[in-house]
Chains A and B, each alone.
Chain A
């Protein structure tokens, strides 16, 4: 499906925020308690997602020492562009998969988790779903 908005532009992030904040799964099974801030780093560009109750409260480009976060995801733009494809290629199709290929198998071209592992696992499904919704937003509702 054609992408309407170029990946990771201001308009794209705003559309993504709307997607996350209206997603039913983010409000069930305890995901409405997900309030850990995390950042997404796409190449050299970092955006902080300030989470509140399973919703994105604020998107903060280029966060500074005045901001706080618990964990983050880093990767080059090519890896993220694979991640958001409607049917993403193997190993960049989900965050744990991608991190595993980076962290355990020492491969390039994948995403990498950083920060507080305990908080990642305490919020794993809500965090994972939030990232998966990048794909939904990018493909205009595609899975």
Chain B
């Protein structure tokens, strides 16, 4: 059964090709586009079951399909590598993709680009599965760039609006900054260690590089830059909020559940390298902590439902980076899984809300949708609770509580990081319930024009179930993953409080956030208005609303200088120099030819004047 593994990425890629090349009716497109992902996820489940029942002796299964090329010692293979880590990623990606494709069949119906949409989406799933299953970094990079391309194509999917195209280009260019660093990291790894096969690479790195050596540090930092770009972490997070210009299923699949967590996967996959480079690992923790706070504050001020969710995604991936950075490896992957469920569900719910209100994005113009869209309300509420971390019940509480505990107790953890993680819990609860109260409670401000059909509701129900049930598998999940990705406990110090205490504080902070959101955004809406219109409040509000001025900063720091250089360059300044030399010669020529008047007496006068000057020079010098 394991030998079917190659079909998991191959089927979506093949169907993407078919959808791109053939001209099909909308019904056939929906059928083909969804069935390919269904088949892929079913096969991934079958492969996982057989992997779990009879794990290979080495703990991992490698399927070599063919040698990609062979150039001067670089011999990457098209080969798939299945171990507990990639298995989790593969199953989650395939399954969430399947649900979102199902949702899209109805969401996108009637759109002009229906076939194009499914072709891109299938291509994305194929590339994402390639990325996850790749056994060498080069193939991983192929998938990495493939998902980047699909992200670009799908953000600018409604290309008739220039703003969407701009958002797509922004996403592509900003992530390219990280990807460039990453590819340099790959060059460095190949140059120093002579292979790109991930497992060989990790073995050789341990043998060749002592802990904290410059080679390991450089490689780890470069790969971290790639991960930061892809996962929208500080300082490359500016593209993700704008990426919400794409259709909502795209936001759910690519910009929440799967692609943006590729950076987390990359670091987890190469975690051996990070244990050789503790500074780089700690940098990941700091980046994660800073990002989760900044994005949390930004999420608190947004009006656009999808932008709230986008900042929330950035913030949650910040949690994953924090977990990676402190050495709580399984917590990061566990949070990836639960986040994929509840954040996909939140986006799907947001898609239903926006559709049913005829394209209204502003949460302040929504309200009272509880009665009109009961199923959506309940599923959205479940996902929201999971995101905010309603203790004991929801999956998000389990994963986030685990990360918060890791921020304190794992190898790189500290009390400061623990406090930051707790502040993040508070912010998450606050902005999540602000969103829920504004959208679903209060009085109704706009008319529901369209009710969601079964293809949109069923994925929501399944994801709602997973958003709750996903949390209960934490213990088996951790023990299963421990063979490849073990929790890295802080050995040098004994914690001054236990995990139960940490979880209790998380629960307390969650309820604090919930109560505050209840007071400010449901009971006494005027309080929040007063707070936001006070001088300090309005400044902070504007500052957070604009993502801490990062876009403004980058606009002035990078975009404008480049545009200015381009504008200057358009006039060919270097050509201008040579054209100037030519012009000077021409002017001189005109002057000299003017003196050739052909008038005899002028010539005579010039000769006389010249002679007088010469004699004068001779006499007076």
Task: Report if A and B associate in a common complex.
Answer: no
Give me the interface of B with A, judged by CB distance under 8 Å. none
